Structure 1
Amino acid sequence: MLYFAYGSNMSVPRIKARIPAAEFVTTARLHGFRLTFSKPGCDHSGKCDVIQTGREDDAVFGVVYRISALDKPILDRYEGLGIDYLERSVALHTPDGDEIRAYLYVATEQQPELSPYDWYKKHVLCGAREAGLPADYVASIEAVAAVPDPDPERTRKELSIYLSCPVGGGAALSD
């Protein structure tokens, strides 16, 4: 199965912590959508979502992974399939110009006023940088306002999967 990760699961350490057998396939672009951090998380912060705009010049970049049918229910649980996210099949464009189909998760609710926690934004930035997504797209993620998590233990736990990951200016995820 091909899965299109556009948020925190773009990060290899993040997806491997959840689905160790996930295999990188390619990067890809989803036309006619834009990335937001408007999906309400159970921790009351903003998580990634894609919003369909219908404008061909809008695009969401991400990473396509191959996962097994046996691992999909695990990822479904992490994503809250049927509660927090719905599954959708989409056409993606690879850097080679090929069109492929993959599934992604789309939020069931949006709250545009939400901000992501700083650790969540770092997951997304780490994945975008690892994947070599376009610099202007990475810059648009960098420009998203993030807030500190009031739970420092959750921050420590979330970032413990990284040995290092440049997120801007050569800084590692070690806040």
Structure 2
Amino acid sequence: MDGVFQSSPPRPDSPAYQAHTGETLYFAYGSNLSFDQMAKRCPQSCYIGRARLHGYQFQINERGYANVVKAKRQRSGLFVEGLCYRLQREDEGRLDRAEGVPIAYIKEEKEIEFFPAQAALLGRTATDLVQYPTPINQDRQQAQNGEGEAALAMVYLSTKYVTPGLPWDEYITRMEQGLHQALQLGVSPEYIENEVRPFLKIGKGDRADKGPTRIISLASSVNRKSHGEPGLHRGSGH
């Protein structure tokens, strides 16, 4: 496994247990931390908890969007923190197209440290979270901050675009919304302030094209051939 991390395997009754036929456990770490954005991209996605991807670091790459890269030095406490959703095949296909798979991002299965959501939030769709937001119980959250359970999750990342860069201004706006909403769901403020916000202080302006770049167009073309659907604005950042 990547990083210094040991945890118990998921129980059969765990929301992270891989027993739901046709569904994918998805780990979100960038602008998809926003359940508003998830509701638009994947309206039937179900929130089940938060997680840590050990041995990786958050970055903004040269495309101006979020990515995760292997940490140069393995040490305890180094991880990317995010949210976990269950995706049905239709929503996963929508998300693939939004992320620009396989050009802007690829999909890999990674082992995560999973922390189930509180009962009032567990299994709610992203659409429901937007309509009826429910902040976490902070006392219960503190009690749940021990060791999580091991689970396998699908992660969007780029192994091609790994050079550090500046984010697009509009992406900073989307990231800030995502960080605000991730705090409501239990992502630690220390992680956000120390590992993510430093990358969002300076933007590189507006996108000159105001529309799909070649990367986006290529990814959209690939996915149209795969899914037989018209492409919209794709590859607009995890």
Which interval holds the TM-score relative to the shorter structure? 0.7 to 0.9
Give per-residue Cα distances to partners, 1:22-53, cap 9 Å, x unaligned.
1101100010000011151xxxxx21100012
Match of 2:148 in 1: 97
Shift of 1:78: 0.3
Shift of 1:116: 4.1
**Cα pair 1:87 1:104 within 8 Å, conserved:** yes
1:19 to 42, 45, 50: 42
Alpha-carbon distance in 1 for matches of 2:181, 2:66: 13
Give per-residue Cα distances to partners, 1:120-155, cap 9 Å, x unaligned.
33133224323221121111222322327437xx8x
Shift of 1:101: 0.6
What letter is aligned with 1:147?
G
Shift of 1:55: 1.3
| CA separation of 1:24 and 1:92: change in aligned 2, threshold 3 A | same
Count of residues paired in the alignment: 147
Alpha-carbon distance in 1 for matches of 2:167, 2:96: 23
Alpha-carbon distance in 1 for matches of 2:37, 2:173: 12
Aligned pairs for 1:22-171 (under 5 A) are 22-40=45-63, 46-53=64-71, 55-57=74-76, 58-95=78-115, 97-107=148-158, 108-117=160-169, 118-140=172-194, 141-144=196-199, 145-147=201-203, 149-150=205-206
Instruction: Name the SS of the counterpart of 1:99 in structure 2.
Output: strand
Moved more, 104-113 or 31-40: 104-113
Moved more, 115-124 or 7-16: 115-124
**Cα pair 2:166 2:202 within 8 Å, conserved:** no
Identity of aligned residues (%): 27
Alpha-carbon distance in 2 for matches of 1:137, 1:81: 27
Instruction: Name the SS of the counterpart of 2:88 in structure 1.
Output: coil
Moved more, 124-133 or 46-55: 124-133
| CA separation of 1:32 and 1:132: change in aligned 2, threshold 3 A | same
Shift of 1:71: 1.7
Higher helix share: 2
Higher strand share: 1
Alpha-carbon distance in 1 for matches of 2:74, 2:96: 29
What letter is aligned with 2:184?
E
Q: Which has the higher contact order (CA 8 A, sep 6+)?
A: 2
